[in-house]
Amino acid sequence: MAYVIKDTCISCGACAGECPVSCISEGDGIYVIDAAACIDCGSCAGVCPVDAPQPE
């Protein structure tokens, strides 16, 4: 199950730098996760200051 970034995202980019498979990119106002590439490691959730990445 992939992670998704919720609307609480503040576009700080902390999650993108932490992703070991580089599946997080800047979207339109918030960051987005490529579900097909996400390995469900949770690294993004561990660094997010607003808990925006959540398991889908």
pLDDT of the residue at 41:
97
Q: CA 49, 54, 37, 15: dihedral to nearest 10 degrees?
A: 0
* Average pLDDT value over all residues in the chain: 97
Dihedral angle sign, alpha carbons of residues 7, 10, 30, 35: negative
pLDDT of the residue at 1:
83
Query: What domains can be seen in the chain, in order of their start residue?
Result: 3-55 (3.30.70.20)
**Could you tell me the pLDDT band of residue 13, with boundaries at 50, 70 and 90?**
very high
Mean pLDDT, range 29-42, rounded to an integer: 97
> pTM, whole model, 2 decimals?
0.91
pLDDT of the residue at 2:
95
Alpha helices, DSSP H only, in the chain?
Answer: 14-18, 43-47
